[in-house]
Amino acid sequence: MRIDLRGKAFGAVPVLGPIRLEIGEAEAVALVGPSGIGKSTLLRLIAGLDTDFEGTITGTGTLAFVFQEPTLLPWRSVRDNLTLATDITARAADALLAQVGLADKTALYPSQLSLGQRRRVAIIRAFARAPETLLMDEPFASLDAQTAAAMRAMLADLLRARPTRLILVTHDERDAASLACRTVRLSGNPAVIVEASAK
């Protein structure tokens, strides 16, 4: 996958400067940098949610996105949230939910789950799509330290079981370390890559 960005602006305000990045199959990259620098904006460009930019992004393949908020359909059951978004069967959805410790929650509505459980549903929904590129935007934000650690371990297990290209936006260096990510740091105004660890 190749990102060749010449620039991204909101109106007259440039947010991202020239960014060139290549990410291999099954490679994990953590985008780090200060808040508001443009990490989430870059992720949305990669996802195709914002097409108003100069440059090209190619080779993403099938995408899945784990948003900052769990972003589940509140009027559908946990199981339906998986089957609707990914076209897998109800049985397959139940098996995946059991894998992340939600076997007894499949028929509940998202509002009946804790934040940590909703985030688990969002993550397993993304894996259920069998994506070539998995985009995650601060997936462990607002969780207590213990839950966040358990979630990191769960994500590492899922990635081991199904190697996937991962682009993770985070401000927490522990996320990058626990997932053995290549770290790409954004800084400046407009933001550019100022530091990238070796592959």
- Which distant-in-sequence residues (6+ apart) come within 8 Å of 136 by Cβ? 65, 66, 123, 126, 166, 167, 168, 169
CB closer to other proteins, 164 vs 183: 164
CA–CA dist 110, 100 (Å, integer)? 15
Three-state DSSP class for 199? Answer: coil
The values of phi and psi at residue 195, to 5°, are -160, 135
Instruction: Note whether 85 binds other proteins by CB under 8 A.
Output: yes
CA-CA-CA-CA dihedral for 39, 83, 161, 130, to nearest 10: -60
Token digits for 35? 């808040």
The residue (of 111 and 146) whose beta carbon lies closer to other proteins is 111
User: Judged by CB under 8 A, does residue 115 bind other proteins?
Assistant: no
Q: What mask of x and - would describe binding to other proteins in positions 7 to 46, judged by CB under 8 A?
A: -------------------------------------x--
Shortest separation between residue 47's beta carbon and other proteins, angstroms: 5
Q: Is 90 among the residues that bind other proteins (CB under 8 A)? A: no
Positions in the binding site for other proteins (CB under 8 A): 44, 47-49, 63-65, 67, 69, 71, 73-76, 84-86, 108-109, 111-112, 129, 135
